[in-house]
Amino acid sequence: MSNDPKKSLGIGLAGFGTVGTGVWETLERNADLIFNRSDVKVDIVRIAVRDLNKVRIEGVSEDKFTTNWQDVVNDPKVNIVVELIGGTDTAFDIVAAALRAGKPVVTGNKALLAERGQELFELSNQFNTPIHFEAAVAGGIPIIKTVQDSFVGNSIQSMVGIINGTSNYILERMTDAGLGYEEALGEAQQLGYAEADPTLDVNGWDAAHKAILLATLAYGFTVDHKQVYVRGIERVRATDIDFAKRLGFVVKLLCVVREHANGVIEVRTQPSFIPQSHILSSVNGVFNAVAVRGDAAGDSLFYGRGAGKDPTASSVVADIVEAALGLRHEGSHRGFLPYQQEGSVMSVEDTETPYYVRFDVNDEPGVVAEIANLLADAGIGISGMHSPVHPDEPDAEFVDMVFQLHTCRFGLLKETLKKVEALSCVNSRPVVFRIEDLG
């Protein structure tokens, strides 16, 4: 590769939707700034799309477009391949082909790397060709580069984050405006914060894929997504939001990545109660935040827009420049590679936190005692029980009974709640939220 700083490197885009057009616009708008800062010139020379008849942004020559992704990877003018189509099948084929061709890859595809990363990282190592994926986690927040580079001298003790803007917006509207789940989801869809099919956002898997990538970066081995506990926000109800407020908490879809003393790591995603006093409780709307704790650096917080055209394009462009600089220095491999052959992921059954548990029970004498006795028999302590009727509204309709429980193994709690659910006074499956200690 020529070291001539005036030589322009060719970029091939697979996908030209919201993010792809944002990448084009950012490169066009800031070309001089990028060159002045990095000595890198890049030019998008080939673009793969599904439909050639779709209206494109102005200024992009029609002869750049193709419906065949192989045309992008095989074009001799393409030095760097940018995968922006999503999914885990065709996207895998594109990334794998680029790596075999010795062309660095830039991708924002968190599902692809979380589910098939092991195969792709092996190809990356085999062909000494990097994968860059800053845009795959938290949009415009440079968390990947920070963990990989700025924290290189730290043992990462934990990473806790709010990394799905759609769920965060829905929970905020339920909290601040008193909307029900379905109403808040509909509003998010009208505003374009949620897709027509919001499944991956609200069921927790979009955030979980990102948490898997963060864990892989921090601990050096590819985390199997099948070992990761994931729950979404679909069962969060106004009752839970209200109780959280009264108890001094807010409900957030929280990703937790944590190393334990025995080297086993904890990776999970679920709606959780977090203290109103903690800084993550103030992360609202479609914003994301990741709190990182390193043994040397201590606590750091990274905050910004977690999605959207321009923030995500910003991360993609940063990776394109990084890939271009890597090509300038032959033999350097600036992408991430797993540096441990294997590691252990803690079973969710062995994870421990305090809990909030809501029971739908009959309004009859002895209910509290029956539930409390089963919890006591299991050795699970009760830190609080809360009246089903708000003290300021004594004539209000009866609502569910809430218990706050001391820290215990999640597996033990599940076993005990099965017994509670079998009681004649309990009408449905108990609702459980973790109460997170983020101190």
Q: Please give the Cα distance from 171 to 378 (Å, whole number).
A: 33
Q: Please give the Cα distance from 396 to 378 (Å, whole number).
A: 33
Catalytic residue selected from 103, 110, 210, 252 = 210
Q: Please give the Cα distance from 230 to 209 (Å, whole number).
A: 10
Cα-Cα-Cα-Cα dihedral sign, residues 24, 117, 159, 144: negative
Residue type, 51: D
Residue type, 63: D
Alpha helices for 204-308 (secondary structure H): 205-219, 238-247
Does residue 12 sit in helix, strand or coil?
strand
Is 210 among the catalytic positions? yes
Q: Please give the Cα distance from 308 to 366 (Å, whole number).
A: 53
Q: Please give the Cα distance from 299 to 33 (Å, whole number).
A: 32
Neighbours of 25 (CB within 10 A): 15
Number of helical H runs and strand E runs in the chain = 14, 16
Whether the Cβ atoms of residue 86 and residue 109 lie closer than 8 Å to each other: yes
Whether the Cβ atoms of residue 290 and residue 302 lie closer than 8 Å to each other: yes
Does residue 65 sit in helix, strand or coil?
strand
Q: Please give the Cα distance from 71 to 69 (Å, whole number).
A: 5
Q: Please give the Cα distance from 133 to 147 (Å, whole number).
A: 12
Active site residues: 210
